[in-house]
Amino acid sequence: MGRAFAYVILGGGVAAGYAALEFARRRAGASPGELCIISDEAVAPYERPALSKGYLLPQGAARLPAFHTCAGANDEVLTEQWYKDHGIELVLATRVISADVRRKTLLTDSGETIGYKTLIVATGAREERMNEGRLYLQMWRGVRASELEEFGVRGSDAANVCYLRSLEDADKMVGVMKPCHGGNAVVIGGGYIGMECAAALVANEIKVTMVFPGKHCMGRLFTPKIAEFYEKYYAAKGVVFVKGTAVKSLEVSDGKVAAAILRDGRRLPADMVVVGIGARANTGLFDGQLAMERGGIKVNGRMQTSDAAVYAVGDVAAFPVALLGGDVRRFEHVDCARRTARRAIEAILEPSGGAAEEGKAFGYLPYFYSRVFALSWQFYGDNAGEAVHFGDFSPPVAGGKPKFGACWVSGGRVAGAFIEGGSPEENEAMASAVRSRAAIADLAAELGSRGLGFADEESRRKGVRRGALAAGDRPTYARHATVGVAAAVSIAAFAYWYGWMAPYVVKRDFSDPKL
């Protein structure tokens, strides 16, 4: 027994929700049997960043339905009723156990076969787990799982060991944190999830020790100078950093971790453990059936895979980036999930000119951001070349806001930019400088001395209007969130702690190569 749809979205994460919204707008909804979303989660797609930015807060925590997609883009909130109203079928709490690309079928764990004419793979990435006696450490950047370090770890299945990838994970972590008030948490990993979870634990008045093998936090993005600022800021909040080593084993008593034993023999008392050691793209269903690259499914600039009937979006997609000279990259970030989802739907529903565009790279500006405590940083482009710092890296005085950053210069042009504490206009200017690959004649004078001033002047010279909101994309995330702020569970509250206007701030769709 089985069903068949014209279009199937496999996966229930951020990309799935944004693809559904784009589909509904371009087609004014779906006819019965036209589009379905298959997800192994029991709820409709939601904004996954909310799990670390709002869900773990001690007061005014985020809860569904406030952060279903596409709330994070200040757009419609796609509840289960929305999907019903638009003729889109949700197949929830269902796991696909095998895929046959040649026959265009998917087999679920209930034994049902679901057929498709066009498949959109939005399976995302899975958190690396400490299981089967192994702990894998992966690069934060998620380009490829090429430098995995492996060592034996016992006790990883203990009740107070937490991960953060899904709503189920977040619910478990909230439950584990409650009795840990005033206790000790060990965070394994110094990347994205580790840093954001550490801030949330501090907000819940839990003492935090972070353990990672690198020389500094966020090793694949931060320069040593940038990392030093954040480590000092965290240390002032009580966070202890243990660098250059790793967890060898977990000491378990009565089914719970009591301590983490490090490679150098140190014993760290632990009332709970949070593991944030990277993620790996969920490509297993398509191994041997679709071309792979960079640890993900290889697609062209239209998000189309090596099989013409299959598209891939979000964390799982490895695509050519025009800004990077057509280099194929894979980005594990919500912004990429949103934009590649829209790009795929556009390519599927408006195939005219597809042959001409097939070989073109995607006009995407790589973008990452984070908000912890009273801090808010943005990163654009590629951290390749020489890093030139600007701004004041001094610890902020009471009530003060730090403002500093760095530009990476390669071949005399700006390749990437990092900015902490930028205003919407300043973030916009920096994004524009990276997007246009602004020329730099004198690194020290133009960047080291003027920093944001250079970006502002460059954007004005290029004709970027301050606050201009061009058609195509809605502003995403505004005011930065402050860990610990209380907010009502509503869309207005979600806007506050998740933040609206941060990414590019300009209402421009950078996925459009014409822009």
| Whether 492 contacts 479, CB under 8 Å | no
pLDDT tens track for 134-145: 333 332 222 222
In the chain, what percentage of residues exceed pLDDT 70?
79
Q: If pLDDT is split at 50, 70 and 90, which confidence band does 11 have?
A: very high
Residue where a domain stops, chosen among 278, 307, 341: 278
pTM of the model: 0.85
Query: What is d(CA 472, CA 125) in angstroms, rounded to the nearest whole number?
Result: 28
Compute the average pLDDT of residues 124-147.
42
| Structural domain boundaries, residue 187 | 134-278
Cα 16 from chain centre: 14
Residues in the chain: 515
22-31, 39-48, 131-140, 150-159: the lowest-pLDDT one: 131-140
Q: What are 310's strand-pairing partners? A: 119
| Whether 87 contacts 34, CB under 8 Å | yes
- What is the chain's mean pLDDT, rounded? 83
Which one, of 218, 247, 250, lies nearest residue 234 by Cα?
A: 218
Residue where a domain stops, chosen among 278, 311, 341: 278
Compute the average pLDDT of residues 487-511.
35
Residue where a domain stops, chosen among 278, 310, 344: 278
Specify the CATH number for the domain of residue 243. 3.50.50.60
**Residue 280 in this model has a pLDDT that exceeds 70:** yes
pLDDT at res. 459: 56
SS3 state of residue 173: helix
pLDDT tens track for 51-86: 998 999 999 999 999 999 999 999 999 999 999 999
419 and 303, same domain (yes or no): no
**Residue 472 in this model has a pLDDT that exceeds 70:** no
Query: What is d(CA 26, CA 351) in angstroms, rounded to the nearest whole number?
Result: 13
Which one, of 373, 175, 135, lies nearest residue 276 by Cα?
A: 135
**Residue 447 in this model has a pLDDT that exceeds 90:** no
255 and 328, same domain (yes or no): no
Which one, of 386, 390, 391, lies nearest residue 415 by Cα?
A: 386
**Residue 514 in this model has a pLDDT that exceeds 50:** no
Indicate whether 17 belongs to any domain.
yes
pLDDT at res. 278: 81
Query: What is d(CA 401, CA 447) in angstroms, rounded to the nearest whole number?
Result: 21
217 and 255, same domain (yes or no): yes
Contacts of 111 (CB under 8 A, 6+ apart): none
Specify the CATH number for the domain of residue 388. 3.30.390.30
Does the CA dihedral 34-38-43-44 come out positive or negative? negative
Give 222-255 as a DSSP string: --HHHHHHHHHHHHHTT-EEEES--EEEEEEETT
Indicate whether 246 belongs to any domain.
yes
**Residue 147 in this model has a pLDDT that exceeds 60:** no
9 and 120, same domain (yes or no): yes
Backbone angles phi, psi at 94, to 5 degrees: -130, 125
The tokens describing 489, both together, are: 């569970």
| Whether 24 contacts 137, CB under 8 Å | no
119 and 146, same domain (yes or no): no
Amino acid identity of 341? Answer: A
Q: What are 242's strand-pairing partners? A: 211
pLDDT at res. 467: 40
Which one, of 45, 60, 48, 56, lies nearest residue 493 by Cα?
A: 60
Cis peptide upstream of residue 475 (ω within 30 degrees of 0): no
Query: What is d(CA 268, CA 258) in angstroms, rounded to the nearest whole number?
Result: 9
Indicate whether 503 belongs to any domain.
no
Q: Rg of the Cα trace of the chain? A: 22
Cis peptide upstream of residue 197 (ω within 30 degrees of 0): no
**Residue 488 in this model has a pLDDT that exceeds 50:** no
289 and 397, same domain (yes or no): no
Domain count, the chain: 3
Cβ burial 281-298 (10 Å sphere, 16+ → b, else e):
bbbebbeebbebebbbbb
Contacts of 479 (CB under 8 A, 6+ apart): 495, 496, 499, 500, 501
Indicate whether 468 belongs to any domain.
no
Compute the average pLDDT of residues 323-327.
94
117 and 6, same domain (yes or no): yes
Indicate whether 476 belongs to any domain.
no
Q: If pLDDT is split at 50, 70 and 90, which confidence band does 497 have?
A: very low
Contacts of 21 (CB under 8 A, 6+ apart): 69, 70, 75, 76, 78
321 and 447, same domain (yes or no): no
SS3 state of residue 325: coil
Compute the average pLDDT of residues 415-439.
91
231 and 305, same domain (yes or no): no
Indicate whether 481 belongs to any domain.
no
Indicate whether 319 belongs to any domain.
yes
Query: What is d(CA 194, CA 278) in angstroms, rounded to the nearest whole number?
Result: 9
| Whether 500 contacts 494, CB under 8 Å | no
The tokens describing 299, both together, are: 């697609």
